[in-house]
Amino acid sequence: MSVPLSDYLQGCRAEIESMLATVLPSPPDCFPPLADAMQYSLLAGGKRLRPILCLASAEAVGGDRTLARPAACAIELIHTYSLVHDDLPAMDDDTMRRGRPTLHVVAGEGMAILAGDGLLTEAFGVLAREPASSDPMVVARKLRVIGVVSGAAGVAGMVGGQAIDLAAVGTSAAAASRLDTPEALQAMHARKTGALIRAAAVAGAIMGGGPEDAIEAVDAAATEFGLAFQIVDDILDVEGASEDLGKTAGKDAAAGKPTYPALYGIDRSRQLAVECLDRAEAALGRVSLGGTRLLEIGRWIITRTN
């Protein structure tokens, strides 16, 4: 790993951006305003953490990361759909994402909903089609990944977590009490944020042909990465500036959302993120994956500023 992490991340992002530019249907197959809306959100940049984790996990288990590229793309399609829907007036009602106006502000609420629907559906088309192969081993890996990703994106994962979050928003005692314990808050974030991060890493390990113990270790580490990511997000919502974050700062407090800083305070929240990384390092170390890029990415997650 002689290449600095910053250069590694930049290279992965460039690879991912190149793939994403070609993955969606275009006119005449897709209605032009819908194609434009999907591209607007998908190609708006961002950290690309989830697809990077997918590629890095394939490498970590000794596999060919090119086999994981379609899964990496599909997961970013799903993540982007979730952001489009999360920003809607009926959800978080946000007007800025990735440093520019949110899709419903630009294209209207109806088109934003349809663009999100399209991104989610196309993601599973990508998973089913790519990588194109008649090799039974590759086909079996693809089917397993479809199961992992659908579980993470669905009602037991991201959609369910968003439903819990939506129900908890507000200043009433009834709303606040739904997530007023560490266990309840962690369970919600394990679904809303953590599930897709976890699925991204596991999908990469599967497509990379990792042995079961390595896949399980990647799963355990990515679970910790997902929690750490959300803790840091909560801290940045308090301490960050909108121009740095690329989205509206202070939204969680304004909406009365339960957060880690609200429950624990800033200093303890930071320590909790560090403890997540410690547990991830232990999980990877048990199968000799502690020296891979995965742990470096975990460290970046807890030190990031946006």
Please tell me whether residue 44 adopts helix, strand or coil conformation: coil
| Res 124: pLDDT | 98
**pLDDT digit string, tens, across residues 79-119:** 999 999 999 999 989 999 988 999 999 999 999 999 999 99
Backbone angles phi and psi of 215, in degrees to 5: -60, -40
Distance CA 245, CA 243 (A): 6
The number of domains in the chain is 1
Q: Which domain holds residue 105?
A: 5-303
What is the token pair recorded at 41?
A: 């959100």
What are the angstrom distances between the C-alpha of 274 and each of 67, 184, 218, 248? 32, 20, 18, 25
Confidence tier at 181 by pLDDT (50, 70, 90): confident
| Res 216: pLDDT | 98
**Which parts of the chain fold into alpha helices (H)?**
5-23, 32-42, 49-60, 69-86, 103-107, 109-129, 136-153, 158-168, 173-177, 182-189, 195-207, 212-239, 242-245, 251-254, 260-264, 266-285, 293-303
Specify the pTM.
0.93
Residue among 305, 300, 306, 260 at smallest CA distance from 280: 300
Which amino acid is it at 304? R
Distance CA 95, CA 179 (A): 26
Kindly give the pairing relationship between strand 96-97 and strand 100-101.
antiparallel
Residue among 305, 282, 297, 216 at smallest CA distance from 1: 297
Rg (CA), the chain: 19
Please tell me whether residue 162 adopts helix, strand or coil conformation: helix
**pLDDT digit string, tens, across residues 230-272:** 999 999 988 865 555 555 655 665 566 778 998 999 999 999 9
| Res 172: pLDDT | 53
Q: What is the mean pLDDT of residues 32-61?
A: 96
Confidence tier at 75 by pLDDT (50, 70, 90): very high
| Res 250: pLDDT | 57
Which amino acid is it at 112? A
Q: Is the dihedral of CA 237, 241, 247, 249 positive or negative?
A: positive
Task: Kindly report the CATH number assigned to the domain that includes residue 96.
Answer: 1.10.600.10
**By the 8 A CB rule, do 195 and 157 touch?**
yes
